[in-house]
Amino acid sequence: MAKKKPARAKSKAASRKVVKLASRKPAPKLKAKAAVKPKTNGNRLPKPSSKPFGKDGKALDGIRILDFTHVQSGPTCTQLLAWLGADVIKIERPGVGDITRGQLQDVPNVDSLYFTMLNHNKRSITLDSKSKQGMKVLERLVKNCDALVENFAPGALDRMGLTWERIHAWNPRMVVASVKGFGPGPYEECKVYENVAQCAGGSASTTGFRDGPPLVTGAQIGDSGTGLHLALGIVCALVQRNRTGRGQRVLTAMQDGVLNLCRVKLRDQQRLAHGPLNEYSQYGENIPFGEAVPRAGNDSGGGQPGWILKCKGWETDPDAYIYFITQAPVWEKICELIGKPEWKTDPEYAKPPARLPRLKHIFNTIEQWTTTKTKFEVMELCNAVDIPVGPILSMKELAEEPSLRATGTIVEVDHPTRGKYLSVGNPIKLSDSITEVTRSPLLGEHTNEILSKVLKFTPAEIAEIKASGATGEAPKAKMAAE
Ligand code: CAO
């Protein structure tokens, strides 16, 4: 801080000097072209397209991804890149493929929804990366792709022989992006799944009720959340490559990704040093705080108290609830709506600090009103007067919600062996890069196409690769000869 002050003072003085000089003699006439052209990226851009929005390709057109991902975290990332227009080539182990193809199968011998919903818009090539011919194909893939994305266990890529040094030597422009469970440190060698990350990243310790055990959440913040982080890292590395001409490594650790999403809880950890967290209902209940941020049940994580309240039908419908926020600016409207106009002026209720110790009583009173209405009626009545509330929507309700279908957030996809199924589409909407969700590939469906059309292997070379077994089961006689 101390260093910055003189710098500011200097720049003020400098600008004063400019004004003074300018007032003495007229500014020299500037050469039009040089003077009006600041050095920004904008000047290197082509002329704005004259095509209608949405008709000039996709955001990541021309980017090719070597997709070495499996399970959920990595595939989430590469699926997003594919939706944004990248050509994503998924490398899968011959005969096996991504393990999720066979996990949680609802229809026997058909790619699971777990797989299909995470691998849209990709092409699949089967390749044994540990064979000589497989490595030959991989080398050519590295030379023909812009980014390699992987989420193997720590060290697996190196054990295959695909070290950063080797990849960088083959293709110095390649971005190498990885998801790992932990960043460098005591746990970096550990394998990690979703819930491990939720626990290690601070989510589980801050989720659930104070008097209950830690809880994991339904949102896959460890896997899908980290995949999102990685996608942003890759796109940024590609943008930097436009300037530097070289690729770089991108690492997102699942622990880091979860912690990033738990940022407000680290905020609260530090606030604890200065006194109790008075927006937590435990404060109103006179329960002392410990050394670490407690689980806050359904308390709102922000400055406006909130809670989940029962609605009409809660006795039989497990989702007949609403999230109700007692936002300070609309407090008077809340009082009117729930039939407590006297709270508007009562000193025990009128101002937010006075309400904090009695939040439980306040929410119980609001709940007496919400239980007389369905969650959708509460939603309508509250939103009409600007009170923020949110119905607890079940997966069934979301799947059937017409507005989500209309925006492509829920899409129906047709699959050759499974038939029609629902998926979550691209949640990132770009006005000039429209997403069309296409089905996930069958195992090895594009092997021939990629070998010949993308990698330009000759028919003789393809025959040799196939005979070696590198892309799948090879004829027995030839296998023996290898
Ligand atoms: N050809 C030949 N071998 C291949 C191959 C191919 N096409 N694709 C993968 N393999 C090999 C790998 O080289 C590795 O072999 P080695 O162990 O001999 O080096 C092996 O398959 C298994 O890879 P893995 O260790 O990554 O897989 P796993 O099932 O044992 O572990 C997981 C899975 C997810 C725990 C681990 O990959 C991991 O920790 N990844 C990083 C964190 C992550 O992304 N977790 C989220 C997963 S989603 O919940």
Give the position of tokens 């996809």.
413
- Annotation marks residue 223 as catalytic: yes
Query: DSSP strand E in 111-191: where?
Result: 122-126, 147-150, 175-180
For ligand 1, what atom is nearest to the CA of residue 159?
A: 19
For ligand 1, whether the C-beta of 128 sits within 6 Å is: yes
Pocket test for ligand 1, best of 152, 187, 189, 223 (most atoms within 8 A of CB): 152
Among residues 223, 256, 268, 299, the one annotated as catalytic is 223
Is 424 within 8 Å of 412 (Cβ atoms)? no
**Ligand 1 geometric centre to CA of 154 (Å):** 8
Classify residue 89 by its DSSP letter.
Answer: E
Rounded Cα–Cα distance for residues 198 and 207 (Å): 10
For ligand 1, whether the C-beta of 149 sits within 6 Å is: no
Q: Give the Cβ contact number of residue 474 at 10 Å.
A: 20
Count of CA atoms in the C-beta half-sphere (13 A) of 360: 10
Q: What is the pLDDT of residue 227?
A: 98
Contacts of 34 (CB under 8 A, 6+ apart): none
For ligand 1, what atom is nearest to the CA of residue 126?
A: 7
Q: What is the mean pLDDT of each run of 10 residues along the chain (482 residues)?
A: 35 35 44 55 84 97 98 98 98 96 95 98 97 97 98 96 97 98 97 98 97 97 98 98 98 98 97 93 91 94 90 98 96 97 96 91 97 98 97 98 97 97 98 98 97 98 97 57 36
The torsion angles phi and psi of 66, rounded to 5 degrees, stand at: -90, 105
For ligand 1, whether the C-beta of 187 sits within 6 Å is: no
Q: What is the pLDDT of residue 262?
A: 97
Structure tokens at 323: 């999230």
Q: What is the pLDDT of residue 478?
A: 39
Is 73 within 8 Å of 226 (Cβ atoms)? yes
Give the position of tokens 């507005």.
403
Give the position of tokens 């003074």.
20
Q: What is the pLDDT of residue 302?
A: 77
Q: What is the pLDDT of residue 61?
A: 98
Q: What is the pLDDT of residue 44?
A: 79
For ligand 1, whether the C-beta of 127 sits within 6 Å is: yes
Closest CA to 275 of 346, 356, 190, 366: 356
Rounded Cα–Cα distance for residues 287 and 67 (Å): 51
Is 167 within 8 Å of 148 (Cβ atoms)? yes
Rounded Cα–Cα distance for residues 33 and 205 (Å): 60
Cα separations in angstroms, 207 against 18, 216, 361, 394: 58, 7, 23, 20
